[in-house]
């Protein structure tokens, strides 16, 4: 055009051409014959089968339903140099197709005996059945391969239905969210076409792992987080320490796997803190069982104090909820339950209160043995329920139980079955209110500590005027159990003195009036016992132990 003088204007511009995302090279297009499978004949049955499947999350049902409803024919052929061949022959001159039960049956026998590579290794005269051998020069074998989704989509027939220990339909199919157009769909279509039933009862869809900035991991970006580096450590700038397999498994249980999830150094560091809290709780339980043998020292559940019975009831609730979470594949719920149970129920409440029983009482006192009974029951239950996720920690716990158990490994125990004797729902509501009262008192004590007016909570004396009906009912309920409510609540609040009502104190250093009632805090009267750290008025009355309170002196007399 330029030579002819017909070119009016020339300008270069950037042309957007499709590139292969793996090789980064331009995609080559070519027209070729393809093989198709029609889904029209069983589309309605497929849509009905979708309704019989449990989809996790529920949005997966809508997604695959729309894809099946709008799908045209399925292109099942691919032009690749690898894969399972389509066993078809073409007439060299006309392109006529040779594909019937006789030819397929013959190829099936050859592949069953020699493998699918036999299609590429033998010529037509060896691949055709005997009745066609004389015409071998007339036919040419095809070079197309089956769509790989057809291969994996028939795994229900080649794997689930054939292997011992598996069954069809499968209980669960699990894969990434892209498989609604892939494996989930091809499995469903082939199973419906052959057997008119879904190949699975439940389908769980998960997202993909992203880097800490929310970007897709890729070699080109260099942002891939290697699981082995997380477990074993290494010279990876993104992951410095060795976290171990349990922390990686804990991360998996903590995230909402139905969407894409980030992972990186700061996220793993936070998970490592949670892991340590659980591990430290287990270590504390084990450490206080060193002199306990359930066969000789265990106290029957009916004879346990209120706090211990409540702790078993709470443990039963948590085990029930964790079991339900695992049944429904709600692993993040397991993570939340475990963290709350170890940090809030055990460390911050039960074990905090139990320290006095464990450290101050004589080793043989029933007061101490009741607590150890509960701790032994809890540590075994804890090992069992964390075993699916924190497998190594669970086995560590089991191997360090200071008393004999029938099973050599935690994985031989079986899933947790809570005895009915642990269950006492009548404890739940009153204990909830009493814990609310404890939290309210702790807030006032913490305010005193922040102002440096008090140190440990045992330096405090507390006066209560409750006005919340629920709190009063809980305290009345506590009193009706046969326990001295003042002594018991004083131990639960971890203060040296406790008074209900009466004249207001003149020496109050902090107070709070809320819906629960009036809470007044003063410095505890008396002197500090060097053994139990309580402030008592009877210290100095014993010449042999002038710095100990009467309770501690009594313990020493019985243990000497």
- CB distance 196 to 249 below 8 Å: no
CATH topology of domain 36-206: Rossmann fold (3.40.50)
Residue with tokens 């139905």: 258
* Residue 278 DSSP SS3: helix
What is the pLDDT, as a whole number, of residue 485? Answer: 67
Residue with tokens 């037509």: 124
Dihedral sign for Cα atoms in the order 76, 82, 83, 85: positive
Chunk the chain into consecutive blocks of 10 residues (it has 560) and report each block's average pLDDT, rounded to whole numbers. 90 84 83 89 94 93 93 89 90 93 94 92 93 92 92 92 92 92 94 95 92 85 84 65 89 92 90 95 96 94 93 97 94 95 96 93 90 97 97 97 96 93 91 90 93 93 84 75 74 92 84 87 94 94 94 90
CA distance 215 to 223: 8
Nearest to 462 by CA among 432, 430, 431, 438: 438
Q: Within the chain, which residue ranges are assigned CATH 1.10.730.20?
A: 266-421
Contacts of 279 (CB under 8 A, 6+ apart): 393
- CB distance 307 to 492 below 8 Å: yes
Token pair listed for 164 = 């011992």
CA distance 80 to 239: 39
Q: Within the chain, which residue ranges are assigned CATH 3.30.2320.20?
A: 427-525
Q: Within the chain, which residue ranges are assigned CATH 3.40.50.620?
A: 36-206
Token pair listed for 282 = 């287990």
- CB distance 485 to 478 below 8 Å: yes
CA distance 482 to 487: 12
pTM for this entry: 0.82
36 φ, ψ (degrees, to nearest 5): -125, 150
What is the pLDDT, as a whole number, of residue 55? Answer: 94
CA distance 279 to 97: 67
Domain at 427-525, CATH from 3.40.190.10, 3.30.70.20, 3.40.1280.10, 3.30.2320.20: 3.30.2320.20
What is the pLDDT, as a whole number, of residue 175? Answer: 93
Identify the bridge partners of residue 210 per DSSP, sorted by sequence position. Answer: 216, 262
Domain at 266-421, CATH from 3.40.50.150, 1.10.730.20, 1.25.40.10, 3.40.50.10420: 1.10.730.20
Give the H/E segment covering residue 462.
strand 460-466
What is the pLDDT, as a whole number, of residue 32? Answer: 87
């Amino acid at each position: 055009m330029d030579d002819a003088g017909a070119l009016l204007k020339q300008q270069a511009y950037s042309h957007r051409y499709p590139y292969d995302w793996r090789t980064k090279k331009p995609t080559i297009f070519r027209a070729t014959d393809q093989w198709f499978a029609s889904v029209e004949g069983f589309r309605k049955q497929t849509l009905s089968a979708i309704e019989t499947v449990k989809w996790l999350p529920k949005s997966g049902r809508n997604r695959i339903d729309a894809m099946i409803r709008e799908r045209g024919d399925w292109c099942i052929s691919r032009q690749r140099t690898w894969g399972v061949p389509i066993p078809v022959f073409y007439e060299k001159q006309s392109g006529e197709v040779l594909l019937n039960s006789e030819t397929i049956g013959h190829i099936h026998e050859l592949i069953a005996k020699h493998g699918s590579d036999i299609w590429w290794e033998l010529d037509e005269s060896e691949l055709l059945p005997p009745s066609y051998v004389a015409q071998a020069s007339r036919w040419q074998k095809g070079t197309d391969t089956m769509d790989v989704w057809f291969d994996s989509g028939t795994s229900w027939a080649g794997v689930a239905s054939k292997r011992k220990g598996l069954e069809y339909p499968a209980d669960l199919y699990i894969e990434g969210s892209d498989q609604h157009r892939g494996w989930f769909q091809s499995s469903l279509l082939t199973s419906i076409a052959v057997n008119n039933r879904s190949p699975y009862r439940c389908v769980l869809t998960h997202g993909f792992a992203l880097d800490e900035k929310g970007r897709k991991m890729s070699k080109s970006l260099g942002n891939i987080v290697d699981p082995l580096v997380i477990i074993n450590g290494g010279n990876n700038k993104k992951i410095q320490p060795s976290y171990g397999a349990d922390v990686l498994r804990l991360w998996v249980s903590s995230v909402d796997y139905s969407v894409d999830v980030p992972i990186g150094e700061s996220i793993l560091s936070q998970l490592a803190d949670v892991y340590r809290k659980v591990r430290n709780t287990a270590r504390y339980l084990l450490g206080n069982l060193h002199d306990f043998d359930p066969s000789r020292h265990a106290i029957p559940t009916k004879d346990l104090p209120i706090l211990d019975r409540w702790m078993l009831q709470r443990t039963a609730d948590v085990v029930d909820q964790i079991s339900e979470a695992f049944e429904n594949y709600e692993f993040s719920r397991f993570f939340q339950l475990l963290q709350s149970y170890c940090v809030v129920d055990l460390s911050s409440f039960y074990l905090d209160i139990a320290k006095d029983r464990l450290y101050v009482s004589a080793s043989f006192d029933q007061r101490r043995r009741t607590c150890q009974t509960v701790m032994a029951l809890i540590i075994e239950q804890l090992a069992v329920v964390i075993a699916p996720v924190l497998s190594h920690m669970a086995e560590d716990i089991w191997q360090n139980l200071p008393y004999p158990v029938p099973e050599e490994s935690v994985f031989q125990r079986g899933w947790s079955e809570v005895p009915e004797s642990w269950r006492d729902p009548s404890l739940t509501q009153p204990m909830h209110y009493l814990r609310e009262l404890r939290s309210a008192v702790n807030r006032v004590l913490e305010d005193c500590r922040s102002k440096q007016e008090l140190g440990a909570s045992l330096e405090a004396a507390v006066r209560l005027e409750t006005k919340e009906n629920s709190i009063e009912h809980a305290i009345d309920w506590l009193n009706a159990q046969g326990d001295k409510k003042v002594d018991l609540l004083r131990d639960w609040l971890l203060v040296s003195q406790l008074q209900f009502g009466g004249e207001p104190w003149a020496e109050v250093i902090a107070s709070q009036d809320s819906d629960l009632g009036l809470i007044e805090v003063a410095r505890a009267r008396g002197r500090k016992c060097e053994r139990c750290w309580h402030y008592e008025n009877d210290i100095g009355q014993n010449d042999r132990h002038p710095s100990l309170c009467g309770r501690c002196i009594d313990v020493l007399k019985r243990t000497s």
